Amino acid sequence: MTKQKVIAIDVDLVLTNIIPKWHSWLVSQSLSFDEKRYKKDLQHERVDYNITRYYELPSDLDGFDFWRQPDLYDDAKLLKYAKEVIMNWYMDGHELVFTSYCFQNHTDSKIKFLKRSLGFIADEDFHFISTKSKGFVRADVIVDDRVSFLNQMGNKTLCIKFHTPYTQCEEARQHYITYNNWKDLGEMFKGK
Residue 59 binned pLDDT confidence (cut-offs 50, 70, 90): very high
Mean pLDDT taken over the chain = 94
Say which amino acid occupies 58.
P
Residue 1 binned pLDDT confidence (cut-offs 50, 70, 90): very low
Question: Per-residue pLDDT averaged across 171-178, rounded?
Answer: 93
Question: Per-residue pLDDT averaged across 54-69, rounded?
Answer: 96
**Phi (first) and psi of residue 106, to 5 degrees:** -100, 0
Question: Per-residue pLDDT averaged across 157-161, rounded?
Answer: 95
Q: What is the rounded distance in angstroms from the CA atom of residue 17 to the CA atom of residue 39?
A: 18
Q: What is the pTM of this model?
A: 0.93
Question: Per-residue pLDDT averaged across 89-112, rounded?
Answer: 94
**Phi (first) and psi of residue 100, to 5 degrees:** -155, 140
For residue 183, pLDDT beyond 70: yes
Residue 154 binned pLDDT confidence (cut-offs 50, 70, 90): confident
**Number of Cβ atoms within 10 Å of the Cβ of 180:** 10
Q: Which residues of 113-126 are buried (b: 16+ CB within 10 A; e: fewer)?
A: bbeebbeebeeeee
For residue 56, pLDDT beyond 60: yes
For residue 189, pLDDT beyond 80: no
Q: What is the rounded distance in angstroms from the CA atom of residue 20 to the CA atom of residue 185?
A: 23
Specify the pLDDT at position 103: 87
For residue 17, pLDDT beyond 90: yes
Q: What is the rounded distance in angstroms from the CA atom of residue 115 to the CA atom of residue 105?
A: 17
For residue 76, pLDDT beyond 90: yes
Specify the pLDDT at position 104: 80
